[in-house]
Every structure is written in structure tokens, then in C-alpha cells.
Structure 1
Amino acid sequence: MAAFARRKAQRLARPDPSRKRALDARAAGLARLLNARERFCTASSCDGRVTVTHTDGAGIPKKNCTWLLVTHEPCAKGDVMTALEKATGDAVFRFEPFVLHVLCRELQDAQLLHSVAIDSGFRNSGITVGRGGKITMAVRSTHCLEVPLSHKGRLMVSEEYIEFLVHVANQKMEENIRRIDRFHKGLELALEAAVPADPLFPEVPQKSQVYLHRRKRGAARGQAAPSTELEPQDDTESSLALFAELTID
């Protein structure tokens, strides 16, 4: 517990490494909500964006690109056309949905976030355990969009098609915003319902509590509890199905 608290303090003290040097507006509220709890620490986030980037065709596109347009709100066709006027290489239009990475003190904390994320529509969410037992929960979605628009500065699609792409991207952005709102509201309710850990009174797993109640009832009847109740399911083993590969760009 002390190790997690130190890691959290160190991470939150670091300067923001993003291009914007600040949290996105919709992600900021979630970050405040989670970081106010000792069991969680946000690591990175993006509340969803529409971008137009271009490269010279060499290297890794997302690593060696120039950003011609970045917006976290629905955009207009004119915004994209203006951005393309600056493109001299290969231009790509993208919609990237909300993503949030959260460090969790215990596996059960990550499972709580995972459950809320899935229920909110972020069905590509997953949990990973790294070296040293670091537990990371990633809130992710799959409704992305990536379309090449120009090659070597030459526009390869019609303006009508660009207008269609912008319409599709804006629909995805609106759905993205709805999912963030659902996640935020669901998370508030889940955190309020969760019993905070008290170091003087360690939490008793729910299944152990059920076993104790049954044991008391059995003792009152002069009977031993069935043997199948003596070995509660291993929560760690049952949670392995939740693990998914996590790649942080």
C-alpha cells in the first residue's frame, strides 16, 4: 500500500508530457474523481479527437507526422479542406475515441473499473499486471476511423467523400461523448457503493462473508458446513479472462 502511494505521488508530480500540456476537458473530471481515491492513479488519457496528419511517406506514420488538424469536438468539412492545403506528403484523416489508463492498487480495484467501462460501451477495455505487480486498467473502445486522403500532396478522394467522412466522424464523436458521460456517472455510483479500505480493519472478501454466514447457520443447526464451501473461489484465477494486451502509445 505504501509503495502504491509513493508511486502515485511521484507520477502526479510529473509535468504533463502531452502536446497540449494539460488534460482534455472531459478526461479532467474523471481524473479528479479517480485521483481523489487512494486506490487509483490516472496515467494517461485522451477524451477523443479528430485529426488530419501528414508524413513524407517514410518511417512510422504516427511517430513522424505533422499535425494539420486536431479537434476534440465535432468538426466541419471546411476545417479538413483547410488542413489539406498544407499537406505536402501523405495525409490521413482519423477519429480516435476516448482512452484512459489507470494504475490500481489491487486487482479488485481494476475489476471494478473494468466492469463500469464495459457497461458504458468501452468493450475493448482490459487489465494487465506488469513487473513488480503493477496493475493497469485501460478504458478503450473500438469505434475508430482512419482513412488516407492524399499521396505526395495529391488529393486522392473527392470533396463529397471528405464531407461524408466528416459526417461519420462526427457521429462517432457524439457516441464517444455519450459513452464518457455514462462511464463518469457509472463510476461515481460504483465508487460511492464501494467500501473504502481501512488499514486497521482489512476488507473481508465477499465470498468469505457468505461462508461465515452459512457456517453460523450450520452451527446453529448442529451441522457442519458442506466441504464445497470451505474453499472459496480464487478471485485472481477467475479474473484472468479479463486480461487483455495493453499497448500505450
Structure 2
Amino acid sequence: MDRNAEFKRWKAQGLSKADLSRKGSVDEDVVELVQLLNGREQYFTTSSCAGRIILLDGNINGFEVQKQNCCWLLVTHKPCVKDDVIVALKKANGDAILKFEPLILHVQCRQLQDAQILAIRSTHGLEVPLSHKGKLMVTEEYIDFLLKIANQKMEENKKRIERFYNCLQHALEKETITNSHPKEKIKDKNNSSYTHKKKRNPEACGKCIEENDKELENDDDPGISVTIFPEDY
């Protein structure tokens, strides 16, 4: 079976469906990034989030929140104000958690070398418990302080998305040039995958993204999750 043709068919099926995120559509701040990836034959996105501030209500086991068992009291992709959080907290019956989550992007990749370009992860997050068994455990002044931090992270997240988009665009363009020169491609194969990634453009991209070889496992982890097209699909 032609794996390229099969991946193309799989991609067409994936893009014909709605975004698998809770919202069900692509956020405005990552539209260009999603279009950039989906415009390349070796990628397609399945789920995305540009970044959000959320208030969850649910049971906590060792302060590890499982979203599927929680009630979403508040979610916004814009800066958040204290009054909105206070109103939402009145609906809490369990242990409410305020979270900021940066860019989340799940991408299907045709093969390993395609996935290596996207092997990044961000730790630009925030997670703070606010109530226990429906009882508010912090002051409104502290909530206002937390929201200032969360909103600052939201603004920084937008800047990081833009930098990542520029770095990814450069890396993909360089990949295209490399693939069009077989001799250079053969030479590159003599280097390790890590060395190959470092040499893409350290001046342009080295400061933009933090590499991490660990693949993200679920929507709770901020960053980019890549899945390689399976051999036996």
C-alpha cells in the first residue's frame, strides 16, 4: 500500500471533521498556524487551543485534576476579570481550580522526521486551588492578584505563538530546500536527529522554542502533541 496516498486519505478524513477541542473550532489566534501545518502534505491538525483561563470544579486526588470528571465553571480565551471568577465560584460545590493553559496543538505526522520539527513543549502554565468543598479558601484580593498573573501569561502566550509560527515557517521552508537537493539530504543523514534539529537555524529559532523529546499524552499538557502515521494503518 502506498503510505503517502494512505496518509493523504487519512488527512482528508481528519480535516473533514470538526476540531476535536472542547470548543469544536479553531481559535482566532492560531488560525494561521493551523493553516500553515494543514497546508503541508506531511501534517494535519486534530485539536487546538490558542490558550485559555479556566475555572474547574471537581474532586481532587492529590491535587491532580481530571478534566473529564470536572464541571467547567468558566472558560475564556481572552483576559479575565475578578467579577467573572467570583460569580462562577458561587456555582462551585467541590474543589475549584483556577488554571491558565498556553497553546495546545495536536498534530498527526506522516513520519518521524516530520514529527521532529514539532518536538517542543511549553511549561508556561498556572494552576491554583481556590475553594474546598464549595468553600472559598482565598480572599478576593488574592483572586485579583492571580488573574493579573494569568492575564500576563495570556499576553506572553500570544507573543510565543507568533514567534513559534515564524520559526516553524522558516524550518519548513528550509526542509523544502533540503529535500530539493538530494546530495545535501544524504549528508544530513550522517548526523544524529538532535544535531540535525539544532542546525536548522539556531540564530532564528533557538530562542523561540524549548525542545523536549517527550511526546505529550493528553489535553492537560500544554504544548504540541505529535502522532506519527502508523505503519499498519
Common fold: TM-score over 0.5: yes
- The answer for the alignment partner of 2:223 in structure 1 is none
Q: Structure 2 matches for 1:53-68, cutoff 5 A? A: 53-55=56-58, 61-68=66-73
Counterpart residue identity of residue 47, structure 1: A
The one of 129, 138, 144 aligned to 1:163: 144
Q: Give the equivalent residue in structure 2 for 1:5.
A: 8
Q: 1:205 & 1:81 partners in 2: Cα distance?
A: 62
- Find the partner of 2:190 among 233, 243, 248: 233
Q: Which residue does the alignment assign to 1:204?
A: 182
Please report how far the alpha carbon of residue 194 of structure 1 lies from its aligned counterpart in structure 2 after TM superposition: 3.3
Is 1:41–1:102's contact at 8 Å kept on the other side of the alignment? yes
- 1:11 counterpart SS class: helix
Letter in 1 for 2:186: S
Alignment of 1:46-195 (within 5 A): 46-55=49-58, 61-114=66-119, 125=120, 140-195=121-176
- Check conservation: 1:92, 1:148, Cα contact below 8 A: yes
2:68 alignment partner, SS class: coil
For structure 2, which runs of at least 5 residues remain unmatched after alignment? Answer: 198-210, 220-233
2:225 is matched with which residue? none
Aligned 8 A contact 2:55 2:74 in 1: yes
Gaps of 5+ in 1: 115-124, 126-139, 211-231
1:238 to partner: Cα distance: 6.3
| Shift, 1:113, TM fit | 3.5
Alignment partners' CA distance in 1, 2:118 and 2:20: 24
**More relative contact order in 1 or in 2 (CA 8 Å, sep 6+)?**
2
Which of 25, 29, 32 is residue 28 of structure 2 equivalent to? 25
Is 2:224 the partner of 1:246?
no
Give the TM-score normalised by structure 1: 0.70
1:99/1:141 contact within 8 Å kept:
no
* Kept in 1: contact 2:19–2:46 (CA 8 A): no
Q: d(CA) in 2 for partners of 1:207 and 1:16?
A: 35
Q: Which has the larger radius of gyration?
A: 1
Amino acid at match of 1:170: N
Distance 1:102 1:16, change over 3 A: closer
Q: 1:207 to 1:5 in 2, by over 3 A?
A: closer
Whether the 8 Å contact between 2:99 and 2:128 is mirrored in structure 1 is yes
Contact 2:44-2:108 at 8 Å conserved across structures:
yes
RMSD, matched Cα: 2.9
Say which SS state the counterpart of residue 144 (structure 2) adopts: helix
Q: CA deviation at 1:46?
A: 1.1
- Cα 1:205–1:235 change in 2 (3 A) is farther
Question: What amino acid does structure 1 have at the position aligned with 2:90?
Answer: E
Deviation digits for residues 153-212 of structure 1, max 9, x if unmatched? 1100011111110011111111111100111122233333432798xxx862625358xx
